[in-house]
Structure 1
Amino acid sequence: MNFSTLFAHGVALVGGAALQMRRLTEGSPEPAWGSAPAIPAAKPQGSIPTLKMPTAKGWEAGRTPIAAPGLKVNAFAGVLDHPRWIEVLPNGDVLVAEALSLDRPPRSVFDYAMITTMRRADAMGVSANRITLLRDKDSDGVAETRELFLENQSQPFGMALVDDTFYVGNTDGVVAFPYTAGASRIAAPGRKLVTFKPAGHWTRSLLLSPDRRKLYAGVGSLTNIAEQGMEVEEGRAAIYEIDLAGGSSRIFASGLRNAVGLAWEPTTGVLWTVVNERDGLGDETPPDYLTSVKDGGFYGWPYCYWGQTVDDRVPQDPAMVAKAITPDYALGGHTASLGLCWVPAGTLPGFPEGMAIGQHGSWNRSKLSGYKLVHIPFANGQPAGPPRDILSGFLSADEKESYGRPVGVTLGHDRKSLLMADDVGNVIWRVTGA
């Protein structure tokens, strides 16, 4: 047993003791969900962080997530290598970005504890750095063939196709590749369209504008609360707007610690995102959130959260706090909400129009949260009700093992299904009416 493994066990023991103490002194707060969440007061955890991560197990033969009543789920494709994000092409081909957080030197004792915990959960290691093409030729909901579509990328994540150009959101920037309709592989070199700072929150989601002239890209922060200073965070914690014709880019919105999934609400034409908030203030403080995104808007990070609630751990800037926008809808503390997809009414039986959200799941709270694919109903362009599970059952009853972890979600080519990436189960799940 190596030192890293021993340290991980030590972290689990210390973390377990800290969890019990916090439960006794703080109780179990109600989940912070909805448009007007009850967010507990911050309780900084100091040098003994809450670290609780289930060991990655994967799915046993014949076992699947639990679909909501009226729905069914099947494996569209399996035996992938940490599938994170999905793009469905016009001809029905399904592209899957396979990538992983990279091992790195720890920056602190807390960071070392986090890294060892992540390794145990199969959330950090050697990245496949490729995009795989899956093809369901007979339209039975299962991919019969797979091809290596694009390789040797730098932690690829977001994807977008515009006519004969295929865009990839690598951690260090957006790359454009020539594409031929129906092609099963891209071998030609790409050209860098925009450069981003890599590492930290490394995922680079992409969303095409309705007029197909612009790309929007999520770029997360390097750190939790800018503890290495704001200079290294310059150009991060933001959503970018990229002009495809001219190649120019600008920050569209900022103060978003880690904005991942992006989606358009079609009746209003407004951009929405899901954001992973900061760690170390308690189980439900602050909640991750779903929000509309205003051009030029600032959403608080790192100075404050959920509007003007100041984070006392951060050197303050009152002017920035004063202009911080309150998000629209809380998604629970540390649920790691990553995937986001607009779901038109009629896509899944019994589910109205709204947003589907892939919640990757917590690693830093006393009772695990997330580990679900949920649906938030919308009406008149706004969230309009409580969440409802689409898929659950990703955790063992004792929370010690995870069979899978939801990430990216998108509409199937038939517009009557959802496809969801599971990066612990290494599966693409397909959800339809029963």
Structure 2
Amino acid sequence: MLKHVLRVAALLVVIAIAVVVYLAWPDTAQVPFDRVTGKRPQIVAPREQTLPTVKVADVVGWQGSETPTPAAGLTVKAFAKNLDHPRWLYRLPNGDVLVAETNSPPRKGGGIQGWVMGLLLGKAGAGVPSANRITLLRDADGDGVAEQRHVFMTGLNSPTGMALLGGQLYVANTDSVVRAPYTEGATQIAAKPELVVKLNGGGNHWARTLVAAPDGRTLFVGVGSSSNIAENGLDAEKYRANILEVYPEQKTFRVYASGLRNPQGMAISPFNKQLWTVVNERDMLGSDLAPDYLTQVELGDQFGWPWFYWGGYPDTRVEPARPDLQQYSKRPDYALGPHVAALGLTFAGDVKLGDRFAQGAFIGEHGSWNRKPVSGYKVVFVPFAARGFPADGAKPIDVLSGFLNADGKARGRPVGVIGDRTGALLVADDVGNTIWRVAGGK
């Protein structure tokens, strides 16, 4: 009898191991990547996972004189090196560049995905404590390299977005928007940051981006969800997966647009002065779903999260279902491909890299952690048509690649993108601890 019990127990252990291996086996993409990009991406049937596919590039950093690879006709060099996890950039009116040296606060909760993400932080080169500071970089001699570096602002909590408005520098912490008086040319803000509004923090998406609205009176703030698909309940998602419109003088805000799982880079279009953003979509539907996207955002828009993706495809994992909202789920303007982790966004005009890149948007893709094969790990350009939207049939064009070496390991990972005062493109590389400067060839 004992032997029989032991045999049964052993069989159950083998079955359990087989089940775990089956569930954890990575899902491999079945559709060519470019088919899941553009205005009309191919949306396949979901392949739901109990455990996410885990495929992230190990970090090796930049060795010696290595640099990323620019598109033909462009050049690249380091604008600033040896930074501490630089993620976001902002150019001041005098041409000085602010960089947020920042990282995730200590993570708590987050379910299976949060646990997996915690394990991956070190592997992805992101498991270091946040420097919690903004540094000012100055290229006084105009040679494309910042020869001056100053600690500009401290007393922050995982800061990301920055914007000037009404003589104040506004900063988006992970749990608040704060401000301090700004004097042009200053190399330091010594004043203690003043609280403008509190934001809900914690969970999986910690970075808060910020851009000044064209009206000169308000700010747009991107606040990502705390979970993948609201698996911890909608109460945990209050004022999250939203773009908020902040009224600084009144120290209040309203929801400007919703259903955006993790809106990161935001920029005002030079075509029509409307707000645009890039959004990280949901996980664990397979390596072909769902595409991250670039889209214009208007007051009252609802993009479907958590119930729907890509303009109305239902996510049957979400309970309770909301079929009544399907017809109101706005379809994004442009798919960037699955799991690229689109973070940075800026428009041509501010960036001047020649005729090929004269009309459209530049996007920093941080790179996937849960797709096989990996996607992203580059800066791309989305061509726009004359009417101010992505051109029909246009596919993303690589502007800066080579962040993965020949062995598939990460030398760096691009995040924020802006134009410098000359029109060159600056790219924050938070793993390579470098800001790269891409310019037109000579």
TM-score by length of 2: 0.90
- Find the structure with the greater CA-based Rg: 2
Shift of 1:346: 7.7
More strand by share: 1
1:53 aligns with 2:56: yes
Residue number among 375, 386, 397 corresponding to 1:369 in the alignment: 375
Q: Distance between the aligned counterparts of 1:266 and 1:110, measured in 2?
A: 38
Conservation of the 8 A alpha-carbon contact between 1:65 and 1:391: yes
- Structure 1 counterpart of 2:403: 394
User: Residue 264 and residue 331 in structure 1: after superposition, are their counterparts in 2 closer, same or farther (change >3 A)?
Assistant: same
Q: Which stretch shifts more, 354-363 or 108-117?
A: 108-117
- Structure 1 counterpart of 2:388: 381
User: Residue 15 and residue 165 in structure 1: after superposition, are their counterparts in 2 closer, same or farther (change >3 A)?
Assistant: farther
Q: Distance between the aligned counterparts of 1:67 and 1:135, measured in 2?
A: 23
Shift of 1:335: 0.2
Shift of 1:107: 4.4
Secondary structure at the aligned position of 1:327 is classed as coil
User: Residue 148 and residue 14 in structure 1: after superposition, are their counterparts in 2 closer, same or farther (change >3 A)?
Assistant: farther
- Structure 2 counterpart of 1:403: 411
Conservation of the 8 A alpha-carbon contact between 2:30 and 2:288: no
Alignment of 1:185-196 (within 5 A): 185-196=188-199
User: How much is the aligned-residue C-alpha RMSD, in angstroms?
Assistant: 1.9
1:18 aligns with 2:25: yes
Conservation of the 8 A alpha-carbon contact between 2:33 and 2:337: no
Q: Which stretch shifts more, 342-351 or 316-325?
A: 342-351
Conservation of the 8 A alpha-carbon contact between 2:155 and 2:193: no
Shift of 1:249: 1.3
1:282 aligns with 2:290: no
Secondary structure at the aligned position of 2:120 is classed as helix
Identity value in percent: 49
* Superposed CA offset, 1:243-293 (max 9, x none): 233333111000000000111112222211000000000112110000110
Secondary structure at the aligned position of 1:113 is classed as helix
Runs (5+) with no aligned partner, structure 1: 1-12
Alignment of 1:288-327 (within 5 A): 288-315=292-319, 316-327=321-332
Q: Distance between the aligned counterparts of 1:92 and 1:100, measured in 2?
A: 25
1:82 aligns with 2:85: yes
Secondary structure at the aligned position of 1:115 is classed as helix
Conservation of the 8 A alpha-carbon contact between 1:362 and 1:369: yes
- Structure 1 counterpart of 2:175: 172
Alignment of 1:31-430 (within 5 A): 31=34, 32-46=36-50, 48-200=51-203, 201-315=205-319, 316-344=321-349, 347-349=352-354, 350-379=356-385, 380-384=387-391, 385-399=394-408, 401-414=409-422, 416-430=423-437
Q: Structure 2: which amino acid aligns with 1:177?
A: A
User: Residue 138 and residue 246 in structure 1: after superposition, are their counterparts in 2 closer, same or farther (change >3 A)?
Assistant: same
Conservation of the 8 A alpha-carbon contact between 2:418 and 2:427: yes
User: Residue 107 and residue 266 in structure 1: after superposition, are their counterparts in 2 closer, same or farther (change >3 A)?
Assistant: closer
Conservation of the 8 A alpha-carbon contact between 2:113 and 2:228: no
Shift of 1:101: 1.6
* Superposed CA offset, 1:345-365 (max 9, x none): 981023221100000000001
Shift of 1:142: 0.2
Secondary structure at the aligned position of 2:325 is classed as helix
- Structure 1 counterpart of 2:3: none
Conservation of the 8 A alpha-carbon contact between 1:102 and 1:124: no
Q: Distance between the aligned counterparts of 1:102 and 1:137, measured in 2?
A: 34
Q: Distance between the aligned counterparts of 2:395 and 2:100, measured in 1?
A: 31
Secondary structure at the aligned position of 1:111 is classed as helix
* Superposed CA offset, 1:282-329 (max 9, x none): 112110000110210100000010011000110111222231101110
Q: Structure 1: which amino acid aligns with 2:258?
A: S
User: Residue 172 and residue 105 in structure 1: after superposition, are their counterparts in 2 closer, same or farther (change >3 A)?
Assistant: closer
Conservation of the 8 A alpha-carbon contact between 2:311 and 2:332: yes
Shift of 1:111: 3.3
Q: Distance between the aligned counterparts of 2:403 and 2:286, measured in 1?
A: 23
Shift of 1:114: 2.8
* Superposed CA offset, 1:77-112 (max 9, x none): 010011010001011111000111233245445532
Conservation of the 8 A alpha-carbon contact between 1:53 and 1:362: yes
Q: Distance between the aligned counterparts of 2:424 and 2:198, measured in 1?
A: 35
User: Residue 80 and residue 14 in structure 1: after superposition, are their counterparts in 2 closer, same or farther (change >3 A)?
Assistant: farther
Q: Structure 2: which amino acid aligns with 1:300?
A: G
Secondary structure at the aligned position of 2:235 is classed as coil
Conservation of the 8 A alpha-carbon contact between 1:15 and 1:50: no
Count of matched residue pairs: 416
